[in-house]
């Protein structure tokens, strides 16, 4: 029988945390390359991003259960409240505590960065709560993809740079679009897998609204655009040539897209490995993009 600790660790959904880590790593790589590194601010930015992601995962767990989206025939990783392993009250309490820790970790950043960081911090928490919570939750309306792009992409990268440099050049926002697009791809795979169940439970994701074909086209398009951004920044914004290392992830993304396309809609459970592969592509792209910026080449 699983221990209490392992149940709570599983509830954090560790594999999803790369979505929070990746844009911060890119922002830190940019700061190193430009001579803006502030270790304390960078570390607290990473801690805050992780805490907000964990709190959001906790909140999604209980919110989806209460809305009936987590059914017995669920294809994805198990949910702790739906499985009866954690009570709804305990999960709500953990959500509030974790969001509170995120705010606490951001106190220094808010004092250092001022109103821009205050706004980003509280907007990120609001997004986490609105993702599946409330009557007009973003995931159930089918607009979560846009918010995932914004908060896990340009906002996360620019915010990480800002707390170190106290400024965010326009090209930083462009760089941030790359992890944002690849984070959306994680969501697309998840929603392609769950399309039939989401439709039955009233969760009108983008895939439910527009269909699997559109989701597959978006996945490939996002990968292509994300890979083009380091090239554009090298060409137009004097980014180091080493940022082109991140292009090695494009063939991986194309191969993953081909694997997703080949899996019949009736065998959605087979998409779980592709979900993990998409998360690894995000992490590798962000690491190589950031490392490339940090290298003096």
Dump the DSSP string for 100-160: HHHHHHTHHHHHHH-HHHHHHHHHHHHHHHHTT-STT-HHHHT-HHHHHHHHTTHHHHHHH
Q: Residue 229 domain-assigned? A: yes
Q: What angle do CA 282, 123, 24 make, to 5 degrees?
A: 30
pLDDT at 70 over 70: no
The answer to whether residue 1 sits within a structural domain is: no
pLDDT in tens, 5-15: 899 998 888 88
Asked if residue 68 is part of any domain, the answer here is yes
Mean pLDDT of 204-214: 90
Q: What's the DSSP call for residue 265?
A: G
Look-up of token digits 């918010």: 147
**Rounded to whole angstroms, how far apart are CA atoms 13 and 155?**
22
- Written as six digits, the tokens of 143 are 């607009």
Q: Is residue 247 part of a domain?
A: yes
236 occurs within a structural domain: yes
User: For residue 2, what are the contacts with CB-CB under 8 A and spacing of at least 6?
Assistant: 10, 85
pLDDT at 258: 96
2 domain residue, yes or no: no
Q: What burial class does residue 272 get, using C-beta atoms within 10 Å of its C-beta: 0-12 exposed, 13-18 middle, 19+ buried?
A: middle
Residue 26 in contact with residue 176, Cβ under 8 Å?
yes
Looking up residue 117, the CATH number of its domain turns out to be 1.10.600
**Highest mean pLDDT of the ranges 57-66, 75-84, 94-103:** 94-103
Contact 101, 75 (CB under 8 A): no
| Full domain range(s) for residue 76 | 8-294
Count of structural domains within the chain: 1
The mean pLDDT of 42-60, rounded to a whole number, is 93
- State the Cα–Cα distance between residues 296 and 150, nearest whole angstrom: 29
Residue 86 φ/ψ region, left for φ over 0, alpha for ψ in the -120 to 50 degree band, beta for the rest: beta
> Which residues, other chains included, contact 240 with Cβ-Cβ below 8 Å and sequence gap of 6+?
33, 234, 292, 293, 295, 296, 297
- Torsion 120-122-127-128 (CA) sign: positive
120-164 pLDDT tens trace: 999 999 888 887 766 677 877 888 899 999 999 999 999 999 999
Pick the more confident residue, 230 or 126: 230
The DSSP call for residue 205 is -
> Cβ of 115: how many Cβ atoms within 10 Å?
8
Is residue 235 domain-resident? Answer: yes
């Amino acid at each position: 029988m699983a221990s209490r600790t392992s149940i709570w660790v599983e509830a954090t959904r560790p594999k999803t945390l790369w979505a929070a880590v990746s844009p911060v790593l890119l922002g830190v790589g940019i700061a190193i390359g430009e001579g803006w590194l502030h270790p304390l601010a960078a570390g607290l930015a990473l801690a805050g991003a992780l805490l907000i992601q964990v709190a959001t995962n906790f909140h999604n767990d209980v919110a989806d259960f209460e809305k009936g989206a987590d059914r017995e025939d669920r294809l994805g990783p198990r949910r702790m409240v739906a499985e009866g392993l954690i009570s709804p009250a305990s999960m709500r309490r953990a959500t509030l505590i974790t969001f509170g820790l995120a705010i606490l970790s951001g106190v220094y950043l808010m004092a250092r960065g001022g109103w821009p960081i205050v706004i980003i911090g509280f907007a990120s928490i609001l997004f986490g709560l609105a993702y599946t919570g409330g009557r007009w939750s973003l995931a159930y309306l089918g607009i979560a993809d846009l918010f995932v792009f914004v908060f896990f992409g340009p906002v996360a990268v620019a915010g990480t740079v800002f707390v170190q440099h106290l400024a965010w050049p326009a090209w930083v926002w462009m760089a941030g679009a790359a992890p944002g697009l690849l984070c959306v791809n994680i969501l697309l795979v998840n929603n392609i897998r769950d399309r039939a169940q989401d439709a039955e439970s009233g969760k009108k994701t983008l895939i439910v609204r527009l269909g699997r074909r559109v989701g597959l086209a978006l996945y490939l398009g996002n990968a292509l655009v994300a890979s083009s951004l380091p090239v554009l920044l090298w060409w137009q914004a004097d980014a180091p040539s080493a940022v082109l290392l991140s292009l090695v992830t494009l063939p991986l993304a194309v191969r993953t897209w081909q694997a997703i396309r080949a899996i019949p809609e009736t065998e959605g459970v087979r998409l779980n490995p592709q979900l993990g592969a998409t998360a690894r592509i995000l992490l590798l792209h962000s690491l190589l993009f950031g490392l490339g910026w940090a290298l003096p080449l």
